[in-house]
Amino acid sequence: MSLISDTLLQFLPAKRKQTPSGWLSFNAPCCGDKRSRGGFIQNAGDAVSYHCFNCQFKASWQPGRPISQKMNKLMRLLNIPDDVINQLRLEALRLNETSLGEVRSVIPTFDERALPMNAKSLEEWSTWIEMQGWENTDQELINAFCYLRNNRSIDPYSYPFYWTSKIGFKNRVIIPFYKDGVIVGWTARATNDATPRYLSEQQPGYVFNLDRQNLHDRAFVIVCEGPFDALSIDGCALLGAEIKDSQNWLLKQLNKEIILVPDKDHEGPKTVEQAIEFGWSVSMPEWPEGVKDVNDAVRLLGPLAVLHRIKSSAESNGLKIQLRAKQWFKDIK
Ligand SMILES: [Zn+2]
């Protein structure tokens, strides 16, 4: 018997019957069934299958295969704790030599990367400005400070932001990406309406601001889309609207409740669906008129009020999240 089939058996509803053909039948957790129409069977070689004869939901696993999204969903329906599910996912990957490649693709590694040429932190630049005087300072450098303070309501010294006078980068604030204290990438945000808005050096599976999540004693981690959203409330950022398997894996390692705050835009609903599949909570607070993301909200309400709203609107039940999303995304154009 494998750890996976064993754990599933442990978490199946206690009230169950065994049929002569080997199926265990019980009230199906997928659809609120009350007529014992959920079936679970253990086949040769530790393979397991679940079949709901009411709503037709099916999930299965066999050694050598990773845990599918459907199996993951079943495990959550059976109230198997997230950390146990995570352990089972890794166990599934470990079980077969041929799946070693998949383990590697889920557990990301990051190489050190260089920042754009001559980049120095705003802290260093501020010393330089004091020595040279404001009148001898590049307007673009002053814009970097103003952009953070005025457009983002972010203290320029609250994070090691960088700036460089290199052509093509002068009108940008550089945000280094750290992992275990090492710079593994960066994004450079235009401080004017230059395009692209972001120039980035980013490695696959990276989660922004992960290093700082163990510094505060929050029992949860807030995950947003963009770096300024994350910095506004000291959360993490996906740096896009899609949740990668490796990002899910990295965030799960924190052993905290993961709360996604989607951007209120066209890509938001897809991110929410993914979050549900990964077993995350999702928060879609009542934002003031015109607010599209966490940074917008912080500029209007301040970080404490925003944190409070995010926490009190966080929902972990997939069905309730879907209902809320329908309403929340209704008025986007
Ligand atoms: Zn069902």
Ligand 1 center from residue 36 Cα (angstroms): 10
Q: pLDDT tier at 100 (50, 70, 90 boundaries)? A: low
DSSP characters over 119-183: -EEHHHHHHHHHHH-GGGS-HHHHHHHHIIIIIH---TTTTT-EE--STTTTTEEEEEEEETTEE
| CA–CA dist 308, 292 (Å, integer) | 17
- Give the number of other Cβ atoms within 10 Å of residue 298's Cβ: 23
Look at residue 20 in the predicted model and tell me its pLDDT: 84
pTM over cut 0.75: no
Q: Pull the structure tokens for residue 88.
A: 């089972």
Ligand 1 center from residue 74 Cα (angstroms): 10
Helical ranges in the chain per DSSP H: 3-11, 69-77, 82-94, 100-106, 122-132, 139-146, 152, 227-233, 245-252, 268-278, 294-301, 303-313, 318-328
pLDDT 10s digits, 215-257: 888 999 999 999 999 999 999 999 999 999 999 999 998 989 9
Ligand 1 center from residue 315 Cα (angstroms): 22
Ligand 1 center from residue 34 Cα (angstroms): 10
Residue 28 confidence (pLDDT) above 60:
yes
- Residue 210's closest CA among 172, 241, 249? 249
Ligand 1 center from residue 54 Cα (angstroms): 5
- Give the number of other Cβ atoms within 10 Å of residue 128's Cβ: 13
User: What is the number of alpha carbons within 13 Å of residue 49 lying toward its C-beta?
Assistant: 11
**How far is CA 122 from each of CA 126, 129, 139, 147, rounded to the nearest angstrom?**
6, 10, 14, 12
Give me the mean pLDDT over the 8-37 stretch: 92
Look at residue 260 in the predicted model and tell me its pLDDT: 98
